[in-house]
Amino acid sequence: MNHVQIKLNPEYRERLPEIEYIATGIVFFDIAANEGLLPLHASAIAHKGEAILFSAPSKTGKSTHANLWKLFAEDVRIINDDKPGISFSDDVLTVHGTPWAGKNVENDNVSRPLKAIVFLKQDKVPHVVELDDETRMKELFRNSYRPRQEDLSNKVIDVMDAILKKTDIFEFDTDISQAAFRIIYQRIYGCERK
Angle between helices 150-166 and 133-142 (to 10 degrees): 140
Cα 117 from Cα 96, distance rounded (Å): 14
By the 8 A CB rule, do 174 and 125 touch?
no
pLDDT in tens, 71-130: 898 889 999 888 899 999 999 999 998 876 666 666 667 899 999 999 999 899 999 999
Res 147 pLDDT > 60: yes
By the 8 A CB rule, do 174 and 123 touch?
yes
pLDDT in tens, 48-75: 999 999 998 877 778 888 888 988 988 8
Task: Note the maximum CA span of the chain.
Answer: 55
Q: Which residues pair with 43 in a beta bridge?
A: 54
Short-list 24, 39, 50, CA closest to 85: 39
Cα 5 from Cα 29, distance rounded (Å): 15
Amino acid at position 76, single letter: V
Cα 117 from Cα 42, distance rounded (Å): 9
Amino acid at position 47, single letter: H
Cα 63 from Cα 78, distance rounded (Å): 9
Q: Are strands 92-96 and 111-122 parallel, antiparallel or unpaired?
A: antiparallel
Predicted local distance difference test score (pLDDT) of residue 105: 60
Give me the torsion for CA of 162, 166, 171, 172, rounded to 10°. -130
pTM greater than 0.75: yes
Predicted local distance difference test score (pLDDT) of residue 7: 67
Predicted local distance difference test score (pLDDT) of residue 102: 63
Cα 168 from Cα 186, distance rounded (Å): 13
